[in-house]
Amino acid sequence: MGRTFSLPGPRDCPATLDEPSADIPSDDPSSCVVACPPHPQFGGRRSDSRLRAVSDALTERGVACLRFDYGPWDQGRGEQADVRTALAWARERYATVGLFGYSFGAGVALCGAADAERPPSAVSVLAPPAAVGDDGVPDCLDRLPVPVQVVVGDRDSTVDSEPVAELARSRGDAVETFPGDHHFVGQTDRIGARVAAFLVPALRDGA
């Protein structure tokens, strides 16, 4: 069970920090990944099964994971600010910081990171939408000078991830396709492992 607290800042953002067990060896004990949940108006919380699977895979590899809830709904703008608040908190405590987001969380992760004072060392997104509010997610991706992984479902009819995936391919980023729809039922452990396999080496290289 992780440590629960509120992120310091202008919005109320509860958070949970999952840390590696003391008996897990790590080549990179000073890294943390910030994990952004899906749409809060549709039940998206830091307890989301996909976020927990990513966190489990990271902590098993010696990397901490900060899962947080957004503050009051703000059409995506305030949620992007919450991402930057979480990144700043992690930056103060860890040498390298990565970022993960699922669905709506993938969009605010990319856009929030693009406008961060200091971007994360690497970003992984699962089922990203093409837009968050008035912000085009591919435009945000295009402004990120860091390695990015885009993971999509081949039968996803909930969001249109192809504009983000297409730009990622043109940038030389990692694009992976899983069989399944937007919810990736039964595949959370596999997704967690693939996301961790991308982020952990990228964080080590970004140290």
Tell me how far apart the alpha carbons of residues 155 and 83 are, in angstroms, rounded to a whole number: 28
Predicted pLDDT at 131: 97
- Percent of the chain surpassing pLDDT 70: 96
Q: What is the mean pLDDT of residues 98-127?
A: 97
Check pLDDT > 60 for residue 28.
no
Q: What are the tokens at 93? A: 């405590």
Check pLDDT > 70 for residue 26.
no
124 and 151 Cβ atoms separated by less than 8 Å: yes
Q: What is the pLDDT of residues 44-100, one digit of tens each?
A: 999 999 999 999 999 999 999 999 999 999 999 999 999 999 999 999 999 999 999
Q: What is the mean pLDDT of residues 131-147?
A: 97
141 and 115 Cβ atoms separated by less than 8 Å: no
Predicted pLDDT at 25: 58
Full set of structural domains in the chain with CATH: 3-205 (3.40.50.1820)
Predicted TM-score of the model (pTM): 0.96
Q: What is the mean pLDDT of the chain?
A: 95
25 or 163: whose pLDDT is higher?
Answer: 163
Predicted pLDDT at 207: 58
Q: What is the pLDDT of residues 177-199, one digit of tens each?
A: 999 999 999 999 999 999 999 99
Instruction: Show the 3-state SS of 30-79.
Output: CEEEEEECCCHHHCCCCCCHHHHHHHHHHHHCCCEEEEECCCCCCCCHHH
